[in-house]
Chain A
Amino acid sequence: METQAAQQEQEWIAQARQGDLGAFAHLVQAYQRPVYNLAYRMLGNVQDAEDAAQETFLRAFQHLQTYDPRRKFATWILSIASHHCVDRLRRQRRPCASLDEAMEQGLPPAPEGDPEETAAAREASDEVQRLLLLLGPRDRLTVVLYYWYGMSHSEIAEATASSVSAVKSRLHRARLALAKALQEQREAEARRLPGSRSPQEVEGL
């Protein structure tokens, strides 16, 4: 099954290389989810995520000749998305101070399903995003590729054009920074609410 899918994919790539947009449409369908999610986690709002994901596919189509079929297509296209998102963040050079504002501007639509479950999932997703946006572009990218895409240190090194030891130290630094932020957040919450209740619970009483 898997080899069949891989064969099909190689066929699409070969046809798209000849300029076949129909074949490329299949590749867009197959990879839109990982590419869009990477862009969303990197950029933090849906407008920029859509634009960056589209740009990734345009660049992929344009540079399809440089794709080496022995490599995983996913790694290749995610590395295009990665470079594009990091470039974009560098050009923006906006400090990550106004997180709440940034997040309110571009929250994704709620996933369908049980509303209570959805609200909980959304809260977790927001907290993760809030943490990610505390990191610099390259550290954020390393964390996203490691946790979201299950890439190994060496795969991340390949996708981000850096060394394995640089990837390891980025991951280490990023985790420590996030742990510190989380600790501070917890301490602030504890100071504000000595009874360690959330505001909703207090209101509900």
Chain B
Amino acid sequence: MSHCGNAHQWMSASLDRGLGPEEARALQAHLRACPRCRATWAALQEVDHLLSTHPTVPVPAGFAGRTLARLEARGAAVAARQGRGSVPWPAAGFALAALSLFLWWIALLGLPALLSQAAPAIWSGLRLLGEALAMLARSLIHLLDLLVPFCRGMALAAGALALACSLAAVGGSLRKARVRV
């Protein structure tokens, strides 16, 4: 049976014009001895011949026009989307809304509460680490205390700005969705 397997490989190679003279002789010898492979070889040659005629079908009339019309329709949609930038607007809107909430939280409650909660833990940690580090930390905290009013002002302003942006973005995406519908 493995002879037949080899013969099949040789037949394929022969159809691809990639059969060496020695293998060609071996194939011929096998074909003389094996009627099954003779039948297969005849069928393979017929298949090869049929496929080599590679009949073509005509392209339907107006194909190019229909393709370009579809492309134009899609292109117009893409251009409309790109006109507003390639940012996914609803996602950007929600991200900005989340950012503005975070900034407001920090401005109104977050940072002082965070500092007052963390201070005892920081102190005990600092005592263990030594006086020198404590001094450094104390001065850092003083600096932070100084920065808090400034941060609060900045955060309020940034929060307001981000909220305005997010409202605009969400509004824009809703309007766009309505237009598309």
- List residues of chain A with CB under 8 Å of any chain B CB: 19, 21, 24-25, 28-29, 32-33, 36-37, 40, 46, 50, 53-54, 57-58, 61, 108-109, 111, 121, 124-125, 127-128, 131, 143, 147-148, 153, 168, 171-172, 175-176, 178-180, 182-183, 186
Contacts and interface: CB of A to CB of B under 8 A. Distances in A.
Contacts of B50: 124, 127-128, 131
Contacts of A180: 40, 43
A171 B8 CA distance: 12
B75 interface: yes
Interface size class of B (residues with CB under 8 A): 20 to 34
Given A50-B60, A50-B63, A61-B71, A128 B12 contact: no
B62 to A, nearest CB: 10
17 contacts: A19-B75, A32-B67, A50-B66, A53-B63, A57-B71, A58-B74, A111-B57, A121-B55, A127-B50, A131-B47, A131-B51, A147-B54, A175-B12, A176-B8, A180-B43, A182-B43, A183-B43
Contact of B55 (A19, A32, A128, A168): A128
B9 interface: yes
B132 interface: no
B56 interface: yes
Contacts of A143: 51
B6 to A, nearest CB: 12
Nearest to B45: A179
Given A57-B67, A175-B44, 17 more contacts: A21-B71, A21-B75, A28-B64, A36-B63, A37-B56, A54-B70, A108-B57, A128-B55, A131-B47, A147-B51, A153-B16, A171-B16, A175-B48, A179-B47, A182-B43, A182-B46, A183-B39
Nearest to A146: B51
A147 B50 CA distance: 10
B54 A148 contact: yes
Instruction: Provide the main secondary structure of the chain B interface.
Output: helix
B164 interface: no
Interface string B70-108: 111011000000000000000000000000000000000
Interface of B: 8-9, 12, 15-16, 39-40, 43-44, 46-48, 50-60, 63-64, 66-68, 70-72, 74-75
A28 B71 CA distance: 11
A108 B58 contact: yes
Nearest to B51: A147
B55 to A, nearest CB: 4
Which 7 pairs of residues, A with B, have the shortest CB-CB distance?
Answer: A179-B43, A125-B55, A108-B57, A147-B51, A172-B12, A148-B54, A178-B47
Contacts of B70: 54, 58
Given A24-B71, A58-B67, A183-B39, A33 B55 contact: no
Contacts of A176: 8, 12, 40, 44
A98 B74 CA distance: 35
Given A175-B44, A183-B43, A36 B59 contact: yes
A109 B56 CA distance: 11
B67 A28 contact: yes
Nearest to A26: B64
Contact of A25 (B55, B57, B59, B64): B64
